[in-house]
Structure 1
C-alpha cells in the first residue's frame, strides 16, 4: 500500500529550464550597462551551456562567462550574488503543480522533497512556488550533509515520514540520482521525462504532473 510520495525539485516540480531562461533574460536586462558589448542571445546561450542543467555551480559559470565575454565591470561574486537574490523571482512551476499535490494529499499520502543544492537557495525556490505547506519533509543536501544518489538521504526521508521503502514512491527526472537511487532501496519509481537524459528503468514514466494521481490511485 502506497503511503508517501517523495519528489525531486529541479526538473520535476520546478521547470528549471524555463526558470533559467526567464532569469538570465532579466539578469541581462537588469545589468545591461555592463553587457553592452555582448549580444543578449550570446550571453544567454553561453550561460545555459556552462550551467549544464544546473550541475555546475554558478561561481564557476560566472567566472567562465567573465573570462570568455570580457566582462570587466562586474566580478563573478557580484553576478553570483545577483543570481542568489533574484532567481527565486523567476521560478516557473510545471503545469498543474498545485492541483497534483492537492490530489495526492486528498488521497491520504504524506509528501516529501529531496533535492541536491544549497539550503537557503533551494528553500527560497520552494517557497517561491508556493508549495512548502504541502510537504511533511523537505531534505536539502547541503543541510543534510549528504546528497543524492547516496541511499542515506532517501532512507532519512523515509524514516522521518515513518514509511517503508515499498510503501513510498519517488518522482524525479534524473536517471541515476533519482530513479536508480530510489529503486536501489526498494521504492516505487516514477521518471518525469526529460529529453536531456537517457531513459531509466523506472516503474512508471510521466510527461505531465497530472498523470501522477491516477498512478497513485492504482497503488494506494
Structure 2
C-alpha cells in the first residue's frame, strides 16, 4: 500500500515558466532607470532564452545580458542578487496544488520534495508557494551533495520517511531526472505533462493536472 508521495519542484509543483515571466517583467519595471535603453520585450525574451528553463544558472544569464545590452549603470551581480532575493515573491503554483496536498495529507500520506538546484534558492521558492508545512522531508541536491537521477537521493528521502520503495510514488516532469531516476530506485512514477518533453515512456501514469493524483494513488493501491 502506498504510504508516501514525493515530488519534483520546478515544472511539477512550481509553474516555473510562468514564475520567470512574471518575475523578469517586474524586474525590468523596477530597474527601469538602468534598463531604459532596452525595449522591455527584448530584455524579457532574452532572459527567458538564456535561462533555458532553469538549466543555466543566472550568473551566466546576467553576465550575458549586461554584455549584449551594454548595461553600464548596474552590475550583473546586482541583477543576480535581485533575482535570488525577489524571485520567491513571484512563484506561481500549478492549478490545484494546495487542494491536492490537502487531500493527500488528509488521507495520511507522508509527503516529500526532491529537487535539483541550489539549497537556499529552492527553499525560498518552496516558501514562496506557501507549501513548506505540507512536507515531511525536503531534499535539495546542493545540500545533499547528490542529484537526480542518481538513485541515492531517492533512497535517502525514503529512508528519512521510514518507507520502502514499493510503498512510494514519485511525481515529476523530467523523463530522465525524475521518472527514470525514481524507477531505478524502485518507486512507482507519475509523469506531470510538460511542454518541454513529448512523453515519458517509462512512467506508470501520465497526468495533465495535479488534481488527478489522489485517484491515481487509489488505482495503484488496488493493483497491489
- Indicate the TM-score class for this superposition, using the shorter chain for normalisation: over 0.9
Q: Displaced runs of 4+ in structure 1, greater than 6 A?
A: none
**8 Å Cα contact 1:175-1:198 kept in structure 2:** no
The 5 Å alignment of 1:56-135 reads 56-135=56-135
Task: Provide the rounded CA distance (Å) in 1 between the counterparts of 2:186 and 2:145.
Answer: 23
For the residue of structure 2 that corresponds to 1:10, the secondary structure is coil
Classify the secondary structure of the residue corresponding to 1:12.
coil
Query: Counterpart of 2:147?
Result: 147
Residue number in structure 2 paired with 1:170: 170
- In 1, the alpha carbon distance for the partners of 2:56 and 2:7 equals 21
Q: Secondary structure at the match of 1:59?
A: helix
SS at match of 1:211: helix
Return the alpha-carbon distance in structure 2 between the equivalents of residues 142 and 212 of structure 1.
28
**Gaps in structure 2 of 5+ consecutive residues:** none
Per the TM alignment, residue 197 of structure 1 is displaced from its structure 2 partner at its CA by 1.5
Q: Using the TM superposition, give the Cα deviation of residue 161 of structure 1 relative to its aligned residue in structure 2, in angstroms.
A: 0.8
Q: Deviations over 1:113-132 (max 9, x none)?
A: 00111111111111111111
Q: 15-24 vs 141-150, which deviates more?
A: 141-150
Q: The residue matched to 1:199 in structure 2 has which SS?
A: coil
TM-score by length of 2: 0.96
- The answer to whether residue 46 in structure 2 is matched with residue 46 in structure 1 is yes
Q: Deviations over 1:32-87 (max 9, x none)?
A: 01111110001011100100000100000000111111111111111100001100
Q: Which residue of 2 aligns with 1:161?
A: 161
Report how many residues are paired. 220
Q: How does 1:10-29 map to 2 (within 5 A)?
A: 10-29=10-29
What is the correspondence of 1:166-205 to structure 2 with a 5 Å cutoff?
A: 166-201=166-201, 202-205=203-206
Cα drift, residue 219 of structure 1:
2.5
- 1:30 aligns with 30
Q: TM-score, normalised by structure 1?
A: 0.98
What root-mean-square deviation, in Å, do the aligned CA atoms of Structure 1 and Structure 2 show?
0.8
Distance 1:187 1:68 in 2: 45
